[in-house]
Amino acid sequence: MNLLIMGPPGAGKGTQAETLAKELQITNISTGDMFREAIREGTEMGKKAKEYMDMGELVPDSVVVGITRERLSQSDCARGFLLDGFPRTVVQAEALEETLETMGLTLNGVINIAVPREKLLERLTGRRICRACGASYHIRYNKPEVEDKCNDCSGDLYQRSDDNEVVVNNRLDIYESKTQPLIDYYARRDLLKNINGDQEIKKVLADILASLSK
């Protein structure tokens, strides 16, 4: 089974991707890991990507798609794959579709984990980090035993600057504006599986699996 997974910051996409890949016995591929691996191994496309990155330029879609093709050609993807973080635009989605066709592959579904914005804000702005050891807490879901103090080292807890409401709202605005055309693209192809991410982790996974069996 060949899948894509999408979801805004705070939706739990990474957790679901890891668990789903194990459940389906397919390979979980995050874009970041894919890039790092291609550059580390010095593949043809990895070298091209590094050239652009060393110049401080954006890696063009043709190279990103090339790296994706290299990764999907590896033996561990023979039973299927779960792409996380790519494509990000309709142009990339069209290029991916063409690439898969040349490889004799097709997508079986695109999972879109949806969570109400107020819940995303609650999840993302509630995080607190220990200044001393870096341990992570949440003011609602993973409270420290003593307010604003780390359980492990008694260090002070703080909110990262990129976890404040203004920054988080901006991140969500950017995600929505960039992702909606992609959601529409896959909906038109009858591949989109909208999943309610505002549930227990196990229930979200169950809903994903149920949507793939339809």
The answer to whether residue 140 sits within a structural domain is no
The answer to whether residue 35 sits within a structural domain is no
Please pick, among 50, 69, 88, 117, the residue that the annotation labels catalytic. Answer: 88
Please pick, among 40, 47, 160, 203, the residue that the annotation labels catalytic. Answer: 160
Q: Is 114 exposed, middle or buried (0-12, 13-18, 19+ CB in 10 A)?
A: middle
- Is residue 202 scored above 90 in pLDDT? yes
Owning domain of residue 208: 2-26+79-115+165-212
Contact call for residues 71 and 38 (beta carbons, < 8 A): yes
pLDDT class of 44 with cuts at 50, 70, 90: very high
Task: Tell me the C-alpha distance between 62 and 131, whole Å.
Answer: 42
The average pLDDT across 160-179 equals 93
In this structure, what token pair is assigned to residue 194? 């909208």
The answer to whether residue 45 sits within a structural domain is no
Supply the pLDDT for residue 204: 97
Residue whose token pair is 């505002």: 198
Please pick, among 48, 123, 127, 128, the residue that the annotation labels catalytic. Answer: 127
188 is catalytic: no
CB atoms near residue 46 (< 10 Å): 21
Supply the pLDDT for residue 175: 93
- Is residue 32 scored above 90 in pLDDT? no
In this structure, what token pair is assigned to residue 191? 């591949």
The answer to whether residue 38 sits within a structural domain is no
The answer to whether residue 182 sits within a structural domain is yes
The answer to whether residue 50 sits within a structural domain is no
Contact call for residues 34 and 65 (beta carbons, < 8 A): no
Supply the pLDDT for residue 71: 95
202 is catalytic: no
Q: Determine phi and psi for 78, rounding to 5 degrees.
A: -60, -30
Helix axes 201-212, 13-24, angle to 10 degrees: 50
- Is residue 162 scored above 90 in pLDDT? no
- 8 preceded by a cis bond (ω within 30 of 0): no
Higher pLDDT, 32 or 207: 207
Task: Tell me the C-alpha distance between 177 and 124, whole Å.
Answer: 19
171 is catalytic: yes
131 is catalytic: no
The answer to whether residue 89 sits within a structural domain is yes
Q: Where are the alpha helices (DSSP H) in the chain?
A: 13-24, 31-41, 44-54, 61-72, 90-102, 117-125, 165-188, 201-212
CATH of the domain at 102: 3.40.50.300
Q: Mean pLDDT of all residues in the chain?
A: 94
Supply the pLDDT for residue 205: 97
128 is catalytic: no
- Express as a percent the part of the chain with pLDDT over 90: 91
- The pLDDT tens digits for 115-161 are 999 999 999 999 999 999 999 999 999 999 999 999 999 999 999 99
Domain count of the fold of the chain:
1
The answer to whether residue 41 sits within a structural domain is no
